[in-house]
Structure 1
Amino acid sequence: MGQRAAIYCRVSTADQSCERQERDLLAFAVRAEYEVVAVFKEIASGSRNDRMERTRVMTLAQDRQIGAVLVTELTRWGRSTMDLLGTLQELESYGVSVIAQTGLQFDLRAPQGKLFAALMAALAEFERDLLRERVRSGVAAAQERGVRLGRQPGVRVKADRYTARVLKLRAAGGSYRQIARDLGLSKNTVMEIVQRHR
């Protein structure tokens, strides 16, 4: 067999299955003569950052136990353009390529890979600019409608939620420190609640 590889499969929801991805990638590995050392399957939304199985793949790469990661498509691996570029660069530093089932190889050491990385970096910057512009536009539109953003003066969400319990414990003779410990608040928050209701 050839180069050692890990297979990474991901679906977004629990009602989906990684079986098709795994079957297709195992067949692809045989055709392309990769030696599959591990198969990682994960259920995780594309927006989530806490992908334990992908982290395990990265650890294999860092330990130089694989030379490639096989995926059905790049969207299964990367959460966003930024995330994809960052992980591809990290894998490249370990000498590991990401290879899509189509046969496209993302080796950032090769001229093709460098071009791909440059295009992705430009797209990632474009994505960031678009997001920033959308946020600014949304904030401006909300302010025009009279929506007040941010924490409002005089609103103490956490303190207001605990007021009744703090006052009851204080009336029963509890110290500020004891009440804070019992309710998981800071001593200053307890003191502020009591002083506001004197």
Structure 2
Amino acid sequence: MGQLRSAALYCRVSTGDQSCERQSRDLQAFAERGGFKVVAVFTETASGTVTARSERTKVIQLARDRRIEAVLVTELTRWGRSTTDLLHTLQELETYGVSLVAQTGLQFDLRSPQGKLFASLMSALAEFERDLLRERIRSGIAAAQERGVKFGRQKGQRVKADRYEARVMALKRAGKSYRAIAAELHLSKNTVMDIIHRVNDRKNSTG
């Protein structure tokens, strides 16, 4: 009998009312059938969109330390947050010589021709996913613009100046100089002058 390959089991559920017990039990049996020696079991509760996954990070650290040769999961969705994330982590595992093996039958060993083919397909899917996201963003902006929503800084808009206008004018009415106002509000003297001149111009135009 050949030497068993060392593996880590990674189990994830989406909500706190679910349990990783069944996944762990199924993966233990799967590892035994597949000739893997289980060196660690990691369980995690996190939705598919959650970025921070501390237990998954620990699995990757084991791979980085060359302590495992494979990661076993029940399904790829248990491991990856998205197509892009799955591809990225697969490539990272590959640099450590570690395969990702799903109980569903998919094995991502990027050193094999099959694994390289999967990587190419995953890369194409990841790019497709990014293109879809960009298209949704562009469509959303176009739809909002049709409704009259304006994006970005508008002509004549001075975000910083508008934010300080009331305080600048209050200090000016108190008799303080441009330089003193600038020092107190941590603004440049030119910004203070611009604010005061604009306010005075508005008053003159409406007066």
* TM alignment of 1:150-165, pairs within 5 A: 150=152, 153=157
Partner of 2:42 in structure 1?
A: 40
1:93 pairs with 83, 92, 95, which one?
Answer: 95
Residue segments in structure 1 that go unaligned for 5+ positions in a row: 168-186
1:18 to 20, 40, 58: 20
Q: CA RMSD in A?
A: 2.7
Q: Deviations over 1:88-136 (max 9, x none)?
A: 0110110100000123211011000000000000010011011001100
Distance (whole Å) between structure 1 residues aligned to residue 92 and residue 145 of structure 2: 41
Between the aligned partners of 1:115 and 1:69, the Cα distance in structure 2 is 20
1:1-198 matches, within 5 Å, as: 2-150=4-152, 153=157, 188=186
Q: Secondary structure at the match of 1:16?
A: coil
Matches of 2:159 and 2:42, distance apart in 1: 47
* Structure 1 pair 45–150 and aligned structure 2 pair: CA distance change class (3 A): farther
Q: Which amino acid aligns with 1:39?
A: V
Answer with 39-48 or 68-77: which moved more.
39-48
Distance 2:20 2:32 in 1: 18
Q: Which residue does the alignment assign to 1:182?
A: none
Structure 1's consecutive aligned runs of 4 or more residues displaced over 6 angstroms after TM superposition are none
Runs (5+) with no aligned partner, structure 2: 171-184, 197-207
The TM-score normalised by the length of structure 1 is 0.76
For residue 40 of structure 2, give the secondary structure of its aligned residue in structure 1. Answer: strand
Which shows bigger deviation, 123-132 or 42-51?
Answer: 42-51
Of the two, which has the highest radius of gyration?
A: 2
Compute the displacement of 1:62 (Å). 0.5
Paired residue type of 2:16: A
Amino acid aligned to 2:85? D
